[in-house]
Amino acid sequence: MSAEVLIRPARNLRGSLCLPGDKSISHRYAMLAGIANGVSRLENFATGADCNSTLECMRQLGCEVTRTADAKTGVVAVELEGSGLRLKAADGKLDCGNSGSTMRMLSGILAGQEFASELVGDASLSRRPMARIIRPLRDMGAAVGANNDLPPLRIRGGRLKGIDYRLPVASAQVKTCLMLAGLFAEGSTVIEEPVRTRDHGELALRSFGAEVDELASNRWRVRGGQTLRPIHAVVPGDISTAAFFLCAAALFPEANLVLDNLLLNPTRAAVLDVLRSLGLKISVLQVEQRHGELTGVIQVRSGPLRGATIAGALSAALIDELPVLAAIAPYTAEGIEIRDARELRVKESDRIAAVAANLRAMGAEVEEREDGLRVPGGQHLHGAELPSFDDHRIAMAFAVAALRAQGESVIKDADAARISFPEFYTTLERLVER
């Protein structure tokens, strides 16, 4: 894919989509399959580079992994043979690429292995905070080394003991990391989160046959020594990827979009509520539950966009969708204000600074704050050169914003999108009308 992508303004967006599997679920299924007893089959697995990093790490740790992509549809299926809770030491370093999820969640499994591992990442991942997993894994008894709490991570696992731990930041990656470590610990591991975050770790563990007790809506217990059975699953379409197309639809009054096999898990679906409150008409045409995950078909029609304030627990629930919501905010009537989202500063890029810089490059007025942004509505934007900051969600957010700008835009280092959705630009082109 070329490093630059030209985005021309569009006049409408219509069509239907069936997206590759959710990234958060694909990571978790791949890791759990690797420590289950037998062969798991994961259909509609995520197509992005992040989940490939997880598959490669599992392969290096001794799991047999077969990944096939349908020649016509591109749909990916993965077969992964787990050999139980004990993995093999990797030959070399485990390369997590750009994927914080791989590094943070896999660390929970490695903390329980009786060998040493080294996890490395690219330049962006090497800047991301790891103290959030290092502290509790050390409390459980693992030896974890890092550079000032930054990657690379050196983990020597071994006998772990259960802990009762309250997470200092709302992070589902950390919650899942500790649940995975809890499988290897003596006794029970209890995890409390400041606000409830996405629950894919809990649901996936249960699907693979483990018991996870919900002690309160934000407090969980995992017993050590539980064994896992393999699963056959179809991963629901990624709702965080869907958010880019939903926000693109929001820009055009005549838009009409149908999304099939879409993840509708309530801990991830807040973006649908916010878009509804902005003015989108979203109908759920069909819904079912698979491996504990709600999945369905939705239809989206657009209308005039009002405004929104996003704060508190809602900011945590929308953490991956905030960049694209901020990017369409100038086109709403009343604008969008985002608060309590400091975590955006330590994602694949500083997403608050990146969004503010690109909105300004397009001529928008925006107020950047330590923990968020205020973007006034009723603005007219012009096309611009828009860097991706090597961040997939920034690249895709501004490809969307550029659809309603006056004049053409160029997304620089646009191939950052390959991290979660390599097919993004071709899919967007298929749906827009000019």
Q: Which is nearer to ligand S3P, 172 or 354 (CB)?
A: 172
Q: Which is nearer to ligand S3P, 88 or 166 (CB)?
A: 166
In angstroms, what is the minimal distance from the CB of 16 to ligand S3P? 25
Residues 6+ apart with CB under 8 A from 304: 253, 279, 333
Neighbours of 215 (CB within 10 A): 11
Closest by alpha carbon to 210, among 196, 225, 228? 228
**The pair of three-digit structure tokens given for residue 187, joined into one six-digit string:** 């006794």
Task: Burial-class residue 351 by CB neighbours within 10 Å (0-12, 13-18, 19+).
Answer: buried
Residues 6+ apart with CB under 8 A from 300: 246, 249, 255, 256, 257, 258, 259, 275, 280, 281, 282
The question of whether 320 is a catalytic residue gets the answer: yes
Taking the C-alpha atoms of residue 145 and residue 152, their distance in angstroms, rounded to an integer, is 8
In angstroms, what is the minimal distance from the CB of 419 to ligand S3P? 10
Provide the pairing of β-strand 185-186 with 160-161: parallel
**The pair of three-digit structure tokens given for residue 277, joined into one six-digit string:** 């409150």
The site string for ligand S3P over 165-184 (x = CB under 6 A, - otherwise) reads: ------xxx--x--------
Residue 24 near ligand S3P by CB under 6 A: yes
Q: Which is nearer to ligand S3P, 200 or 404 (CB)?
A: 200
The site string for ligand S3P over 198-217 (x = CB under 6 A, - otherwise) reads: x-------------------
Q: Which of 79, 320, 337, 415 binds ligand S3P (CB under 6 A)?
A: 320
In angstroms, what is the minimal distance from the CB of 228 to ligand S3P? 19
Residue 319 near ligand S3P by CB under 6 A: yes
In angstroms, what is the minimal distance from the CB of 186 to ligand S3P? 26
Q: What is the 3-state secondary structure (H, E, C) of 136-199?
A: HHHHHCCEEEEECCEEEEEEECCCEECCEEECCCCCHHHHHHHHHHHHCEECEEEEECCCCCCC
> Which of the following is catalytic: 50, 320, 390, 391?
320
Q: Which is nearer to ligand S3P, 24 or 207 (CB)?
A: 24
In angstroms, what is the minimal distance from the CB of 320 to ligand S3P? 5
The site string for ligand S3P over 325-354 (x = CB under 6 A, - otherwise) reads: ------------------x-----------
In angstroms, what is the minimal distance from the CB of 265 to ligand S3P? 11
Q: Which of 44, 101, 241, 358 binds ligand S3P (CB under 6 A)?
A: 101
Task: Burial-class residue 233 by CB neighbours within 10 Å (0-12, 13-18, 19+).
Answer: buried
Q: Which is nearer to ligand S3P, 90 or 419 (CB)?
A: 419
Task: List phi, psi (to 5°) of 421.
Answer: -150, 80
Q: Which is nearer to ligand S3P, 206 or 306 (CB)?
A: 206
* Alpha carbon distances (Å) from 250 to 23, 128, 256, 332: 24, 32, 9, 9
How many positions of this chain bind ligand S3P (CB under 6 A)?
A: 10
Q: Which amino acid is present at 325? A: L
Residues with catalytic roles: 320
Binding site for ligand S3P (CB under 6 A): 24, 101, 171-173, 176, 198, 319-320, 343
